[in-house]
Homo-oligomer: A and B are copies of this chain.
């Protein structure tokens, strides 16, 4: 049989289960409102394993954050400006079939930990720069950087408002519904020359 023998005792697997459960909880409820027992129960795993595999609750949160950041980096790698609205819309509305929550929202969750804050800030900064560059501006143009960051803020704001409050029609808008307004938004902010 292949190397993927279905072992009942699999540290890697349980680690993954914990990570996914934590990602869901932290994104939906925030850091402080989430308890380690909640996460462990969701994962169907003993609480003590969190401390073992991730050192602490904060360690688990940090792992979630880097995982989410990696995911964002992977799915949004060098998108041209023309495709940015769709990319954002898909990011916000989710891959439709996926039950996982929006990675953007996790970026707004805070544990008070400094390491986590730096991870978050690094992604936001580089994301903003990438957006400005994709729009054809020099990356040290402060005005355009501000505009790019506003696009970013708008995206996260939409994602947050969607999940937190059942504000209709925004809450249940599909990616198709969102792409047209987002195109207008991105165009107006970024391609102004």
The residues of A with any CB-CB pair to B shorter than 8 Å are 30-33, 108, 110, 112, 117, 120-121, 124-125, 128, 142, 145-147, 149-150, 152-158, 160-161, 164-170, 173, 177-178, 181-182, 184-185, 187-189, 192
Measured in the bound complex, the distance between the Cα atoms of B158 and A108 in whole Å is: 11
Given contacts A31-B33, A121-B166, A167-B149, contact A184 B173 (CB under 8 A): no
Given contacts A150-B158, A157-B153, contact A124 B32 (CB under 8 A): no
Q: Check if B152 sits within 8 Å of A161, measured CB to CB.
A: yes
Q: How far is the CB of A121 from chain B (nearest CB, A)?
A: 5
Q: Check if B161 sits within 8 Å of A156, measured CB to CB.
A: yes
* Chain B residues whose CB sits within 8 angstroms of the CB of A167 once the complex forms: 121, 124-125, 128, 149
Oligomer: number of copies: 2
Known A32-B33, A128-B167, A147-B181; further 6 A-B contacts with Cβ < 8 A: A120-B165, A121-B165, A124-B161, A149-B169, A150-B170, A184-B189
Q: How far is the CB of A159 from chain B (nearest CB, A)?
A: 8
* Chain B residues whose CB sits within 8 angstroms of the CB of A154 once the complex forms: 150, 153-154, 157-158, 185
Q: Check if B161 sits within 8 Å of A153, measured CB to CB.
A: yes
Q: Which of A142, A157, A168 has most chain B Cβ within 10 Å?
A: A157
* Chain B residues whose CB sits within 8 angstroms of the CB of A124 once the complex forms: 161, 165, 167
Measured in the bound complex, the distance between the Cα atoms of B177 and A75 in whole Å is: 31
Q: Which of A142, A146, A153 has most chain B Cβ within 10 Å?
A: A153
* Chain B residues whose CB sits within 8 angstroms of the CB of A166 once the complex forms: 121
Q: Which of B117, B169, B170, B188 makes the CB contact (< 8 A) with A185?
A: B188
Closest to A146 in B: B169
Measured in the bound complex, the distance between the Cα atoms of B57 and A33 in whole Å is: 14
Q: How far is the CB of A18 from chain B (nearest CB, A)?
A: 21
